[in-house]
Amino acid sequence: MNWEEKYQTGQVFWNRGAPSPPMAHYLDQHPAHGRTLVPGCGHGHEVALAVKHGLDATGLDIAPSGVTAAHTLYPHLADRIVVGDLFNPAPAMRGAFDVVLEHTCMSGLHPSLRPSYRRGIDLTLRPGGVLIGVWFINPDLDPGDEGPPFPFSVPALTALFADGYKIVDDYVPAVSFNGREGRERVRVLRRLG
Ligand SMILES: C[S@@+](CC[C@H](N)C(=O)[O-])C[C@H]1O[C@@H](n2cnc3c(N)ncnc32)[C@H](O)[C@@H]1O
């Protein structure tokens, strides 16, 4: 998947132009604290959400044009939204985060890249930290369409984080973007120390 090309040609079909409603609801109900990473942040909406909730947030995205668009949308957050690869994070990001916010980074990745995603979380989230995910489990694909987004079952999510993480919250959210009702799952995992 050439993410940079997608941003350059404006094919950002995943972008809803606002923060994830289930993520906003979760953070309203469960205040989080500390250094926070938003991997695959795209236009930066969840970075803005995190900062609004008092988190010391950094957005990371592999596509420079996505990051440039995020800087234009959220100029006051420009220092916080950077180009980089979750699979090979900069030394300063390793073990540096108390919280990771997942929103449609994972579902954009081909299933073969899921172990790399898991490794990226392991490299950035400190032991004891929390991975707060709005996991896009069941995208509505056209017949014959494979993705992205790629369907991701709840058992596959469980298996991906079966070792080294403990589920601390898990539910189908009552709020969502139009068209994503019942397709997402809020699952929060604590990294074991
Ligand atoms: C489906 S988009 C979601 C963007 C944003 N989270 C949203 O909800 O609008 C997936 C994003 O992950 C980024 N991405 C893909 N692989 C990445 C990697 N290895 N490291 C960092 N970002 C990555 C892409 O550039 C893209 O912006």
* pLDDT tens readout for residues 81-135: 999 999 999 999 999 999 999 999 999 999 999 999 999 999 999 999 999 999 9
- Which tokens sit at 43? 């236009």
Question: pLDDT class for 193, splitting at 50, 70, 90?
Answer: confident
Label residues 17-33 b or e (16+ Cβ within 10 Å = b): eebbbbbbbbbeeeebe
pLDDT at position 146: 76
pLDDT at position 145: 78
Q: Indicate whether 141 pLDDT > 80.
A: no
What domains are defined for the chain?
22-191 (3.40.50.150)
Q: Round to whole Å and give the CA distance between 69 and 8.
A: 10
Q: How far is the CA of 62 from the centre of ligand 1 (A)?
A: 7
Q: How far is the CA of 167 from the centre of ligand 1 (A)?
A: 24
Ligand 1 binding residues, C-beta < 6 A: 3, 14-15, 39-43, 60-63, 66, 85-87, 103-105, 108, 148
Q: Supply the pTM of this predicted model.
A: 0.97
